[in-house]
């Protein structure tokens, strides 16, 4: 009627407001692409499941045949259609044997169902985890700065495992149980529609209860998982900074933080379990009531010859076994609700988009030795924050540029623009004359090596740590790079030389040794642009000297951007810029700036620890880009 009225007045039917996809749908959307590769196993699993359901349905029939045959033999007047066996030893043995065969075949079918789905589950989980990990690595630094590492690890490891466990131990049985329930209801309707209605009513009440409970269960489970993520973050941060924790005596403070997060997580976990347990118990009561109704009603139906005693056995057995799936359904519903909470957390991660999208027609960087240009660049790290204000700067290929300035001035931010870790909010960064946003990010990054104050080494062999600079490098190149970085001698003194596996974060090496390995990696990379971000800060004078020599080798003939507080290093570069409050306030050749007592560089050298302006020899040639190693 309403539709007709709408049509008559020519109004378009109002479209339903777009509702966000449910948690289960989002979870399935994450998993679906990984199912395609396992079609054979999935088909085998479903075939075995079909047999399992079939044998489950068949199980009570021999009992019915025996009871009906015995009832007839005892004089009962049974008029129901269907197979009628003569009561006797042959019938009893035949039916007993049938039960054994059915149980055996069902056991085989159940076994193959479980194995097939378990295999699919573990393979899909491994694929999903690998895809999520790959995706997370591609997200921007802005995402990683905001996201908690512990929580991300929890999603990658714990949540994916929970999803896998629930899919194989709850999702698949749930499917089998649902099919069994439908088939059983069909058979019960055929036997006696009136009694079968009891099953329909029971199932409907269960569906209502389950639907009402699964939302709160999922919500509580999601909170519990988030709490576990926070716990993992606290644990990871504390264990990673054990030296500081012990030195400052923070064990008790951190333990008490950990304890309170732990208790909160426990609380939400208990809420989820309580809701699930309550759903299960309500289902128990529901089944009890259904059995009572069927028993009383069925007895009456036997007496008025509507069904046979065997039929009542089928009813009661189906109610018991058919309602077991229903009971399992309650258990599985809560498990699935909890897994859906995990699935949503994985989906959140997978759906997180990088805020540095690559243009569909992005090109690789063509120039082997590109210039870098900042054209009126404004940039910041988050909405509404501006760190750099209108930077105009051209760095010629082969030039050594030092960036000086107070802490927080935006020096590292400037360098991160070159690697396209962030994009300018306005203005353009060009490399090799092309806007970075038009270039393939991986190609741009392959032209850059970066060395930080705390270089990151991975828990693998020394050789592989250097090889991360160029994955296809042969062993000879790795050793040559180590010699140039002055790392070869100490590497050979390690227990297994180049094959020594470094401990967690290479804490078994000194700061200088770690830095030399990182320099060897950068030398191996042969990138034309080197960014040194306080690469010698925090080293003792002896280590610093040898690192400076190694850096000399690394930067020779390449473009270098040296972010430093080291006066001597800045003095040796071709050009110095002074950055303050995100603006370039001074720029020039170091010697020119040194000759101007009003220059910030001059004043800073006067105040800075280390060599004074007057101590620095003036005979270093001014204009020799590419020939002087940038020393930091
Ligand atoms: N990942 C980030 N997320 C949010 N803000 C950031 C991030 N990195 C830097 N900032 C902020 O940007 C500003 C400039 O930081 P930047 O690291 O570029 O300065 P810097 O000159 O290199 O300082 P320092 O000499 O101490 O290393 C600071 O206010 C800092 O808090």
- 52-64 confidence digits (pLDDT tens): 888 888 888 888 8
In-domain check, residue 17: no
Question: Could you give the CA distance from residue 530 to residue 545 in angstroms, rounded to a whole number?
Answer: 19
| Residue owning the nearest CA to atom 27 of ligand 1 | 407
**pLDDT tens, 207-221?**
777 777 777 777 777
**pLDDT tens, 128-163?**
888 888 888 888 777 777 777 777 888 888 888 888
- The per-residue pLDDT for 211 is 72
Question: 246 CA distance to ligand 1 centroid (A)?
Answer: 28
Ligand 1 atom, smallest distance to 145 CA: 1
| Residue owning the nearest CA to atom 10 of ligand 1 | 381
In-domain check, residue 64: yes
- The per-residue pLDDT for 627 is 30
| Residue owning the nearest CA to atom 26 of ligand 1 | 407
Residues 373 and 345 in one domain: no
Residue 564: CB atoms within 10 A of its CB come to 23
Question: 409 CA distance to ligand 1 centroid (A)?
Answer: 7
Question: 483 CA distance to ligand 1 centroid (A)?
Answer: 34
Question: 451 CA distance to ligand 1 centroid (A)?
Answer: 17
pTM exceeding the 0.95 threshold for the entire prediction: no
Residues 260 and 331 in one domain: yes
Which value, to the nearest 10 degrees, does the dihedral of the CA atoms of residues 186, 187, 189, 191 take?
170
Q: What percent of the chain is predicted at pLDDT more than 70? A: 87
Question: Could you give the CA distance from residue 78 to residue 76 in angstroms, rounded to a whole number?
Answer: 6
Question: Could you give the CA distance from residue 79 to residue 52 in angstroms, rounded to a whole number?
Answer: 32
In-domain check, residue 304: yes
> Which of helix, strand or coil describes residue 212?
helix
Ligand 1 atom, smallest distance to 142 CA: 1
Q: Considering only CA atoms, which of 548, 575, 564, 563 is closest in space to residue 629?
A: 548
In-domain check, residue 11: no
The CATH number that applies at residue 519 is 3.40.50.300
In-domain check, residue 548: no
| Residue owning the nearest CA to atom 7 of ligand 1 | 381
Angle (CA) 386-389-395 rounded to 5° is 125
Residues 337 and 468 in one domain: no
Note down the domain range covering 519: 457-526
Residues 522 and 534 in one domain: no
Residue 327 tokens, joined: 């009971």
Q: Considering only CA atoms, which of 334, 121, 302 is closest in space to residue 215?
A: 334
Pocket of ligand 1 (CB under 6 A): 145, 381-382, 387, 405, 407-413
Question: 524 CA distance to ligand 1 centroid (A)?
Answer: 29
| Domain's final residue, options 351, 380, 410 | 351
**pLDDT tens, 239-276?**
777 777 777 777 777 788 778 777 777 777 777 778 77
| Domain's final residue, options 351, 379, 395 | 351
Question: 416 CA distance to ligand 1 centroid (A)?
Answer: 10
Question: 325 CA distance to ligand 1 centroid (A)?
Answer: 58
361 pLDDT exceeds 70? Answer: yes
Residues 577 and 503 in one domain: no
Residues 440 and 462 in one domain: no
- The per-residue pLDDT for 505 is 54
Residues 252 and 373 in one domain: no
Question: Could you give the CA distance from residue 221 to residue 334 in angstroms, rounded to a whole number?
Answer: 9
Ligand 1 atom, smallest distance to 405 CA: 21
Ligand 1 atom, smallest distance to 582 CA: 14
In-domain check, residue 5: no
**pLDDT tens, 160-217?**
888 887 777 777 777 777 787 788 888 888 877 877 887 788 777 777 777 777 777 7
374 pLDDT exceeds 90? Answer: yes
- The per-residue pLDDT for 12 is 44
Across the chain, mean pLDDT equals 79
What is the per-residue DSSP string for 583-617?
EEEEEE-HHHHHT-TTSHHHHHHHHSSSS-GGGS-
Q: How confident is the model at residue 19 (pLDDT cuts 50, 70, 90)?
A: low
Q: Considering only CA atoms, which of 573, 599, 621 is closest in space to residue 396?
A: 573
Residues 569 and 477 in one domain: no
């Amino acid at each position: 009627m309403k539709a007709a009225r709408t049509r008559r007045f020519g109004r378009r039917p109002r479209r339903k407001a777009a509702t966000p996809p449910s948690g289960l749908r989002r979870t399935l959307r994450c998993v679906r692409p990984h199912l395609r590769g396992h079609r054979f196993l999935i088909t085998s699993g479903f075939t075995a499941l079909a047999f399992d359901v079939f044998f489950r349905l068949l199980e009570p029939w021999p009992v019915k045949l025996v009871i009906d045959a015995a009832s007839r033999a005892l004089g009962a007047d049974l008029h129901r259609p269907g197979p009628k066996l003569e009561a006797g030893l042959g019938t009893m043995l035949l039916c007993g044997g049938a039960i054994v065969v059915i149980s055996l075949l069902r056991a085989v079918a159940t076994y193959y169902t479980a194995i097939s789905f378990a295999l699919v589950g573990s393979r899909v989980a491994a694929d999903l985890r690998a895809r999520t990990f790959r995706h997370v690595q591609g997200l921007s630094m802005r995402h990683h700065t905001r996201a908690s590492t512990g929580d991300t690890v929890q999603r990658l490891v714990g949540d994916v495992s929970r999803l896998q466990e629930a899919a194989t131990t709850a999702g698949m049985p749930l499917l089998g149980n649902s099919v069994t329930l439908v088939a059983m209801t069909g058979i019960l309707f055929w036997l006696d529609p009136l009694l079968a209605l009891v099953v329909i009513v029971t199932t409907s009440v269960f569906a209502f209860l389950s639907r009402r409970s699964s939302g709160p269960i999922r919500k509580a489970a999601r909170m519990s998982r988030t709490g576990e993520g926070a716990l993992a973050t606290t644990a990871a941060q504390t264990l990673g900074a054990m030296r500081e924790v012990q030195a400052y005596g923070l064990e008790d403070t951190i333990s008490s933080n950990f304890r309170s997060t732990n208790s909160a997580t426990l609380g939400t976990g208990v809420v989820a379990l309580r809701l699930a347990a309550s759903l299960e118990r309500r289902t128990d009561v529901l089944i009890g009531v259904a059995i009572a109704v069927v028993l009383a009603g069925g007895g009456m139906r036997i007496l008025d010859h509507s069904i046979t005693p065997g039929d009542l056995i089928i009813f009661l057995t189906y109610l018991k076994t058919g309602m077991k799936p229903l009971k399992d359904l309650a258990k599985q519903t809560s498990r699935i609700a909890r897994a859906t909470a995990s699935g949503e957390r994985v989906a959140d991660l997978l759906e997180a988009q990088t805020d540095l999208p690559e243009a569909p027609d992005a090109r690789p960087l063509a120039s082997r030795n590109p210039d870098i240009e900042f054209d009126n660049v404004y940039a910041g790290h988050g909405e509404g924050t501006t760190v750099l204000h209108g930077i105009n700067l051209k760095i010629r290929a082969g030039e050594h540029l030092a960036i000086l300035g107070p802490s927080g001035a935006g020096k590292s931010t400037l360098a991160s623009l070159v690697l396209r870790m962030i994009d300018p909010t306005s203005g353009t960064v060009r490399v090799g004359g092309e806007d970075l946003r038009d270039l393939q990010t991986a190609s741009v990054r392959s032209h850059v090596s970066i060395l930080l104050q705390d270089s990151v080494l991975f828990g693998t062999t020394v050789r592989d740590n250097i090889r991360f600079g160029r994955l296809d490098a042969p062993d000879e190149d790795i050793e040559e790079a180590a010699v140039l970085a002055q790392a070869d001698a100490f590497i050979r003194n390690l227990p297994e030389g180049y094959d020594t596996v470094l401990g967690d974060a290479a804490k078994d090496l000194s700061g200088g040794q770690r830095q030399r390995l990182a320099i060897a990696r950068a030398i191996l990379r042969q990138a034309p642009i080197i960014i040194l971000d306080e690469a010698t800060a925090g080293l003792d004078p002896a280590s610093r000297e040898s690192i400076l020599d190694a850096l000399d080798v690394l930067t020779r003939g390449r473009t270098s951007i040296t972010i430093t507080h080291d006066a001597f290093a800045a003095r040796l570069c071709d050009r110095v810029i002074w950055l303050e409050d995100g603006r370039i306030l001074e720029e020039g050749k170091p010697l020119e700036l040194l000759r101007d007592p009003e220059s910030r560089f001059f004043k800073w050298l006067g105040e800075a620890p280390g060599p004074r302006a007057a101590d620095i020899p003036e005979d270093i040639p001014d204009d020799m880009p590419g020939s002087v190693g940038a020393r930091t």
